[in-house]
Structure formats: structure tokens, C-alpha cells
Amino acid sequence: MTLSSDDSFKQAIASFQAGRLIDAEQLFKKVLRLQPNHVAALNILSVLLTSLGRYTEAEPYIKAALGLNLNSDATLYNYGIILKSLNRPIEALERFSQALSINATVAETWNNRGAVFNDLKRYDDAIIDFNKAISLQPNYSAAFCNKGKSLAELRRYDEAFAAYDKALAIKPDLEDAWLGRGNVFFDLKRYGEAIAAYEKALALKPNLTNAWLGRGNAFYNLKHYDEAIAAYDKALAIKPDLEGAWLGRGNVFFDLKRYGEAIAAYDKALALKPDLANVWLGRGNAFHNLKRYGEAFAAYDKALAIKPDLEGAWLGRGNAFYDLKRYYEAFAAYDKALAIKPDLEGAWLGRGNAFYDLKRYDEAFAAYDNALALKPDLAEAWLGRSNAFYDLKRYDEAFAAYDNALALKPDLASAAS
């Protein structure tokens, strides 16, 4: 006997509630073949498909449900969730805002609209929404966690820690809050504490790719390269298209002077996301160290086309011009870098080296002194000072500067010679 649409709908609901999602999907679709404008079936099928991560398939059903009932805040909310998952934040923001105009008492809607504001980098607006969600639901751990992310992006780190701690007091197994704490520790250059927080997150969710990525970045900054590579590889085993992990691998290989492997890793990242300025910068630096200056300039130009205020790319251009003895072009590039970041010691070092080559020793000393004021352990700046003293036959001062350089970097061959 053929089931009616009502009977099929009841069976679909029962299957859905029992977690038999494939059966439920087929039954909801049967209802819709019999009754295409069945609003409840359209809504629940879209929720089911969303729960399976099939957002593209879910959208036509939720769109049809909304067309039949424009004043349903629940439908608008569910549509917002789908659009957010499809990386269409402007449309998601509109749907959540429409839902709130109908019903402003649902904490989840405020929280999810806040999350969209986070995606749009509108962090102050996001915090307002998270606070509204928390006022409606004081133990809303996810809202505290999301608020922590906004505060961290605004560099309000103490407040971010407080938000994450509140989330974890409510829900100690909230892996995203541990991840957030790790990211704040990382931003503060407290890498050991960052790694401990990432490990807490991974103990709760071993396939949390961003925690593996964070571990890799922390180990990289500690110069623990083997552990960094292992973490990046773990992230990529879970998510092969994680461009940040390919960037991290490239940076490790660059530091190890394995430039061919570094370029290959950067290329992987760029194949996934061509507009990553820092990856183009990494490529440029690798080509520069290989003395492939044309390719280095091309990479730096790509980086600057994406991010004109990327001081590292201006520094790279300056260093390439310096190597080619095009000193005045080097000065122009270094000046651009310093206009963006006056405390960029590498640009002061570059200026010092160019002035030294031009035998403009007073200007060279001034530039090296600026570099050393910013980074007293910059061996190359001590070397530059010592070379200038040597040329001026001020040998005692030259020896003192050479000794400083070698104490900081014993393998600095030119200082030893």
C-alpha cells in the first residue's frame, strides 16, 4: 500500500529523530514529490543535509521553504547557517538580521550573526552580538569563545583570555576555546604555553587541523624544525588543502636553506590560494638566496600587488638591489620598508651595508647603530661596524666589534677571517 504524504512525513520524522538520516532523507524527498510545498519537510530536510555537511544541496530546500513563509525566523536562521557554511557571509548576515527583526530573543541567532561579523572582520559589531547572546543565555559557552576570538583579533588579549576562561569554566571540553587560548599565547610569543593549549585542544579533538597548524607555527618560531614539520604534516594529512601548513613547511625549509623544497611548498600554497602575500614573499626570499634575482623581483612584486604595505617585500627588494650593486634603488626600497615599519632592523642593516659599500662611513655607522638599538644581538650589524672601523684603521674598535659578531654567531666566516 502506498503511504500518504502525512504517513511518509511521520516516518521521516521518526527516522530523523532516531538518527537514521539516510532513511529520513529518502522519506522527506518522497513527501516533497507528493507535496512540493510541504514547508516542514523542506525545512527539516535542509537541516538534515546541513548536518551532513551537504550545504549546496540544502540551499534549494531552505530557499523554497522561505519563499512559502517569509516570516519564519527559524527558516531565516537555518538559511543563515547554510550561507555561512557556503562562505557567503554578506548573505548570511542579511538572513540572520532578518531573523532577529522577527524574533530578537534567540541567543543562537545573535551568536551566529556575531560569528559572521567575525568572518567579515567587523570585530566590534561581533562583540555586541556575542554580549547580547550571553545576556539571553548566561552560560552560552560558544558565545564566550567567539567573543574571545574577536577580542584577540583586536589585540585585547587580557579580555580574550577572560572570555576563553569563562567558556572553559562552563564547558571544560570546548576544544575551540583551548585553540583560541593557544592562538593568543602564540600572538604574545609565549610559544610553550601556546603548545600546551593546542595539546589540550587536540586531546579533545585529534583531527582539529588549526591546532596542528598552531603547533607547527609555535615549534617553527622556537626553531624546533623537526617537530614543526611533523605538526604541519599531521595537519595536511587531515586537510591536504590547508594552505597555511604548506606555507609553514616552506618557511621551515627556507630556514634550513633547502630552497628548492621551500619553493615547492610555497607553490602548493599558492595553487590553493593565489593571493597569499606572505607566500609570495617567501618565494621571493628563496629565489633571492638562490641569486635568481629576476624571479625574486617578480615574487616580491606579486606580494606587493596584494599587500602594498608588506614591509618584508620592500626589504627583500632592497636586499636584491643591494646584491646587484644598484644601491640607490636599494635605498628607495629600504626607505619604503622603514616608512611602514620604522623598527625593521633588517632595513637599517641593509642601509648600513649600502652606505659602507659607498664608503659613506658615518652614515653606515648611524644605520648599524639603529639596527643594533633595535636588536643588540644582530651579528651582521656588528660585522658591518667592524668592517667600517677596519677601513678607517680604527683597529681596536674593529676587533671589539668583530668579537661581538663572533660571540653572537661563531660561524660568521667573514668575521673570523
Give a yes or no: residue 1 inside a domain.
yes
Q: What angle do CA 259, 264, 267 make, to 5 degrees?
A: 125
Weakly modelled stretches of the chain, pLDDT under 50? 1-2, 415
Report the alpha-carbon distance of residue 35 to residue 343 in Å, rounded: 68
Give a yes or no: residue 245 inside a domain.
no
* Nearest to 147, CA basis, from 133, 127, 162, 165: 127
pLDDT reported for residue 2: 47
Report the alpha-carbon distance of residue 114 to residue 100 in Å, rounded: 12
* Nearest to 311, CA basis, from 283, 288, 352, 343: 343
Q: How many domains does the chain have?
A: 1
Give a yes or no: residue 20 inside a domain.
yes
Q: How many CB atoms lie within 10 A of CB 92?
A: 24
Determine the structural domain holding residue 26 and report its residue range.
1-103
Q: What angle do CA 26, 31, 32 make, to 5 degrees?
A: 95
- Residue 247 contacts residue 282 (beta carbons within 8 Å): yes
Name the residue type at position 328. Y
SS (H, E, C) the chain: CCCCHHHHHHHHHHHHHCCCHHHHHHHHHHHHHHCCCCHHHHHHHHHHHHHCCCHHHHHHHHHHHHHHCCCCHHHHHHHHHHHHHCCCHHHHHHHHHHHHHHCCCCHHHHHHHHHHHHHCCCHHHHHHHHHHHHHHCCCCHHHHHHHHHHHHHCCCHHHHHHHHHHHHHHCCCCHHHHHHHHHHHHHCCCHHHHHHHHHHHHHHCCCCHHHHHHHHHHHHHCCCHHHHHHHHHHHHHHCCCCHHHHHHHHHHHHHCCCHHHHHHHHHHHHHHCCCCHHHHHHHHHHHHHCCCHHHHHHHHHHHHHHCCCCHHHHHHHHHHHHHCCCHHHHHHHHHHHHHHCCCCHHHHHHHHHHHHHCCCHHHHHHHHHHHHHHCCCCHHHHHHHHHHHHHCCCHHHHHHHHHHHHHHCCCCHHHHC
Give a yes or no: residue 6 inside a domain.
yes
Give a yes or no: residue 292 inside a domain.
no
CA distances from 170 to 150, 196, 273, 373 (A): 19, 20, 37, 46
Give a yes or no: residue 42 inside a domain.
yes
pTM of this prediction?
0.85
pLDDT reported for residue 333: 98
Query: What are the backbone angles phi and psi of residue 355, rounded to the nearest 5°?
Result: -60, -40
pLDDT reported for residue 398: 85
- Residue 388 contacts residue 364 (beta carbons within 8 Å): yes
Give a yes or no: residue 354 inside a domain.
no
Rg of the chain on CA atoms, in Å: 28
Give a yes or no: residue 40 inside a domain.
yes
Residues 6 or more apart whose CB falls under 8 angstroms from that of 6 comprise none
Domain with residue 94: its CATH number is 1.25.40.10
